[in-house]
């Protein structure tokens, strides 16, 4: 499902915030995967961290679809399918379950529902995390496309979530364009989304 399939072909730099059309709405799925948090052993921090970061960065009005589930591969697969196929999310971000422990099965579940794998996202996420911790090499995060949805696996800790999104999100809006999703607009002082010149619209916060 998509809120927009049109692609811009020109850049009109004469437009201002007052004359720009409203940002396109987007449906974003957020999935926190944790046995203990899903049982209420401790408060989940993944969903609030994801929502806060995206709210800060995006101009688009967002409808959130959130899930807190255990580390069970069938549950993860079913959740991802629902968010993509039924809820109509253009972007789904997961947090947790990407390490080498026996219960870490988020990448397996994500790959199981994928139509296409985007290896560059996993490579870049690990590269970003390696700037902060050597154990980033243990992460098995992946990025995939299912239908018209981009799915990205993120780390489990709020600090690592923010660091990773800061390092990879510039490529997300154009990827969402290419798979038929809405035009994601970022606050350029925080994330300057990259698009080819022919795919850009005027920046909403251009000086």
What is the domain-level CATH number for residue 68? 3.40.980.10
How many domains in the chain?
A: 1
Evaluate whether residue 175 is within a structural domain.
yes
Give domain status of residue 60, yes or no: yes
The whole domain housing 36 covers 26-199
17 lies in some domain: no
Query: pLDDT value at position 17?
Result: 63
Tokens 């969903």 sit on residue: 47
Tell me the pTM: 0.90
Q: What is the pLDDT of residue 128?
A: 96
Q: Is residue 6 part of a domain?
A: no
Contact (Cβ atoms closer than 8 angstroms) between residue 129 and residue 115: no
14 inside domain: no
Looking at the domain assignment, is residue 7 inside a domain? no
**In the prediction, which pLDDT does 197 show?**
96
9 is a domain residue: no
- How many residues in the chain? 207
pLDDT at 206: 73
Closest to 151 measured CA to CA, from 142, 162, 161: 142
- Tens digit of each residue's pLDDT, the chain (207 residues): 333 333 333 344 445 566 899 999 999 999 999 999 999 999 999 999 999 999 999 999 999 999 999 999 999 999 999 999 999 999 999 999 999 999 999 999 999 999 999 999 999 999 999 999 999 999 999 999 999 999 999 999 999 999 999 999 999 999 999 999 999 999 999 999 999 999 999 999 875
């Amino acid at each position: 499902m998509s809120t927009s399939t049109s692609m811009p072909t020109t850049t009109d730099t004469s437009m201002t915030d007052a004359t720009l059309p409203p940002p396109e709405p987007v449906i974003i799925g957020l999935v926190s995967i944790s046995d203990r948090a899903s049982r209420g052993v401790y408060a989940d921090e993944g969903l609030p961290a994801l929502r806060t970061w995206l709210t800060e960065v995006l101009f688009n009005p967002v409808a959130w679809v959130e899930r807190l589930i255990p580390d069970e591969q069938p549950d993860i697969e079913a959740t991802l399918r629902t968010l993509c196929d039924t809820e109509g999310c253009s972007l789904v971000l997961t947090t947790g379950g990407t390490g080498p422990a026996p219960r870490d099965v988020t990448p397996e579940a994500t790959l199981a529902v994928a139509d296409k794998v985007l290896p560059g996202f996993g490579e870049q996420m690990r590269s970003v995390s390696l700037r902060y911790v050597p154990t980033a090499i243990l992460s098995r995060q992946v990025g995939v496309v299912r239908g018209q949805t981009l799915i990205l696996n993120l780390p489990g800790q709020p600090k690592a979530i923010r660091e990773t999104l800061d390092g990879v999100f510039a490529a997300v809006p154009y990827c969402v364009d290419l798979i038929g999703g809405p035009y994601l607009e970022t606050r350029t002082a925080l994330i300057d989304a990259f698009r080819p010149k022919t795919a850009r619209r005027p920046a909403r916060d251009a000086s």
